[in-house]
Amino acid sequence: MKVRNVHILTKNGHQSAHALGLEIQAWLRHRGISASVYPNADYSLAASVDRPDLILVLGGDGTMLSVAHQLNDFSVPLLGFNLGRVGFLTELSIENWAESLAGVLDQDCGCSSRILLAYVLERPGRDPVSGRIINDLVVSRSGLARLLGMRLEYGGETVAELRADGLIVATPMGSTAYAVAAGGPLISPDLEVMEICPICPFLSRLKPMVLPSAGEATIRIEHPTQETYLTLDGQEGIPLYQGDVIRITQAKERLTFLIPDQNSFVCKLQHKGYI
């Protein structure tokens, strides 16, 4: 992949990330590559007027998720330098960043095209609310310790009627986030599946499930608590009410990541302490 133009996205309000972004910008320009630095919060406008060949993200997984939600062109590959704690979506360490980045630019690194999920929230008397999910969609309660009553369907069939603290629907990328903490399996990001993982189900035999993402999963809110929310990629919360219906399918768009040769899925799991 020939790289001529790079956008460098830095974590909002993070002085070290901004300083590193300026260093990388100067280094890239010295190599004859156009480079621009943007705070993450200000990127949506720049993304609509200037198409880069590569987007470098300096931050943690939250920064990567925020950047991905602002993209207009999902074919532009993303590559992250981890300034956070876990950094599962950010491939490279900031230590010896110049050597790492030179290796990426000088070698023919592979790209991984990963699925996104699309959701539609339907509410009687209201226009539907829709969007994309990169990691996970979570139906959960807050406040009082009362269980939610939900009905889960897949492909038009009822899977379970359950009372639980909540329910997670995750992409393969999101399987290493909230879903694994709730007892779900680790899933290769190259697969085209969705993971459905109940959170502390009560008197239910429903176990975490991995299903083809080509099908439609439906969550019907039957008995909400006083504070029930739909949380999207851990960044946006929408209150839920009785009768709300959430439909989840595979999105038309796919997210593209640049994958350095040494960063296989198994190696990453071992490095991050998952296995």
Q: Is residue 8 predicted with pLDDT exceeding 70?
A: yes
Highest mean pLDDT range out of 91-100, 135-144, 187-196? 187-196
Looking at the structure of the chain, the number of domains it has is: 2
Looking at the structure, do residues 104 and 132 belong to the same domain, yes or no? no
Residues for the chain: how many in total?
275
Q: Is residue 97 predicted with pLDDT exceeding 80?
A: yes
Q: Is residue 149 predicted with pLDDT exceeding 80?
A: yes
The predicted model scores a pTM of 0.91
Between 261 and 227, where is the model more confident?
227
Parent domain of 214: 116-253
Mean residue pLDDT of the chain comes to 90
Q: Going by C-beta distance under 8 Å and a sequence separation of 6 or more, which residues neighbour residue 19?
A: none
- Write out the two tokens for 174: 């999101």
In the three-class reduction of DSSP (H, G, I as helix; E, B as strand; rest coil), residue 271 is classed as helix
pLDDT single digits (tens) 157-171 = 999 999 999 999 999
Looking at the structure, do residues 84 and 166 belong to the same domain, yes or no? no
Looking at the structure, do residues 78 and 125 belong to the same domain, yes or no? no
* Strand 110-122 versus strand 129-133 pairing type: antiparallel
> Can you state the angle between helices 97-106 and 15-30, rounded to 10 degrees?
50
Looking at the structure, do residues 34 and 91 belong to the same domain, yes or no? yes
Looking at the structure, do residues 246 and 132 belong to the same domain, yes or no? yes
Fill in the DSSP letter of residue 242. T
Looking at the structure, do residues 148 and 67 belong to the same domain, yes or no? no
Q: What is the CATH number of the domain that holds 99?
A: 3.40.50.10330
Distance CA(40)–CA(21), nearest Å, equals 12
CB 263 within 8 A of CB 82: no
Looking at the structure, do residues 204 and 235 belong to the same domain, yes or no? yes
Looking at the structure, do residues 152 and 214 belong to the same domain, yes or no? yes
Q: What is the CATH number of the domain that holds 161?
A: 2.60.200.30
49 to 37, 68, 173, 201: CA distances (angstroms): 15, 16, 28, 47
- Write out the two tokens for 249: 């399918």
Distance CA(117)–CA(174), nearest Å, equals 11
CB 170 within 8 A of CB 135: yes
Looking at the structure, do residues 138 and 70 belong to the same domain, yes or no? no
Mean pLDDT, range 120-143, rounded to an integer: 93
Q: Quick one: pLDDT at residue 36?
A: 94
Distance CA(185)–CA(36), nearest Å, equals 39
In b/e form, how buried is each residue of 233-246, taking b as 16+ CB within 10 angstroms? beeeeeebeeebbb
Q: How confident is the model at residue 262 (pLDDT cuts 50, 70, 90)?
A: low
- Write out the two tokens for 51: 């198409």
Looking at the structure, do residues 234 and 145 belong to the same domain, yes or no? yes
Catalytic site positions = 61
Q: Is residue 261 predicted with pLDDT exceeding 80?
A: no
Looking at the structure, do residues 151 and 230 belong to the same domain, yes or no? yes
Give residue 257's Cα distance to chain centre: 12
Q: Quick one: pLDDT at residue 140?
A: 93
Looking at the structure, do residues 81 and 35 belong to the same domain, yes or no? yes
